[in-house]
Amino acid sequence: MSSDPTGYSLMGIVNATPDSFSDGGRFLEPQAAIDHACALIERGAAIVDVGGESTRPGAQPVSAEEELRRVEPVIEGIAARERDGVAPAQISIDTSKASVARAALAAGASLVNDVSALRADAEMAAVVADGDADCCLVHMLGEPGAPRPQPRYGDVVDEVKAFLSERMDFAVRAGIAEQRLLLDPGIGFGKTVEHNLQLLQRLHELVELGRPVVIGTSRKSFLGRIAGTSQDPERLSGTIATNVLALERGARVFRVHDVAALREALEVATATLAGRWTESRGARTRTTQTS
């Protein structure tokens, strides 16, 4: 993996659900979700992550048929809009169900973001391998949507690292090329505020596994608890702070709701880390070395 601090990707969140914790219901209609995804791409998202089932604690599970009814037209619509001139982006399907992933890949997705890290459905690894797709492996305690168990770790970073290493090995044995894998420590999934902070502080230890690390802190409740703004659903300042710190520690993919604000923050951060900047977005491209 490249050590270039300017190399990162934004993954824009598209929740085609009625009950996601931050924007549930806003993009339940396919056209609204398609328009939102294309807007995120225009603002700088290199990946759009489409999900049809909320993983927040207490969320009601949905059938594979209902999940697919929500996401398939959205993925098809994004792919069609890209063909019509929208800037290209990778389409990700956020699911733990093999049947949903299979249909999503056929509809135009090329990344499977599985919060269960290929554990929830015995057929998922084969679907990813046969589809020659990328795959994000996520650490999580408990089941998606279920109340989280009381999290206890001896050393949360060591345990998450060992889990992700084991799931990488499993994926490769199942036929998924290692270069296709991304790793997500699952911030907020079965972790206390202290666990989340330890993972962010020692993120470089997960980077040692050699695959791009994905960070998903966007709008999560632990940010509001730290800042004393737990009733603010946007939590933008905390999201920016954690993503900039994660970038400095080696994270390379940032799963966010507010793509434009995060792109600006990460552009400034990468310029600072690299000691150079590139002027773009309609202006003459220029790279300047700082002294």
Question: Using CA atoms, how far apart are residues 7 and 146, in angstroms rounded to an integer?
Answer: 35
Contact 232, 218 (CB under 8 A): no
Query: Catalytic site residue 255?
Result: yes
CB burial readout 170-190, b (16+ within 10 A) else e: ebeeeebeeebbbbbbbbbbb
CA 187 to chain CA centroid, Å, is 11
Return the SS3 of 204: helix
Q: Which two tokens stand for residue 247?
A: 């970038």
Q: Say which of 167, 180, 235, 255 is annotated catalytic.
A: 255
Q: Say which of 220, 235, 252, 263 is annotated catalytic.
A: 220
List the alpha helices (DSSP H) in the chain: 30-43, 64-83, 98-107, 124-130, 156-173, 193-201, 203-207, 221-227, 236-248, 259-274
Query: Catalytic site residue 235?
Result: no
Q: Which two tokens stand for residue 151?
A: 């999290």
Return the SS3 of 49: strand
Residues catalogued as catalytic: 220, 255
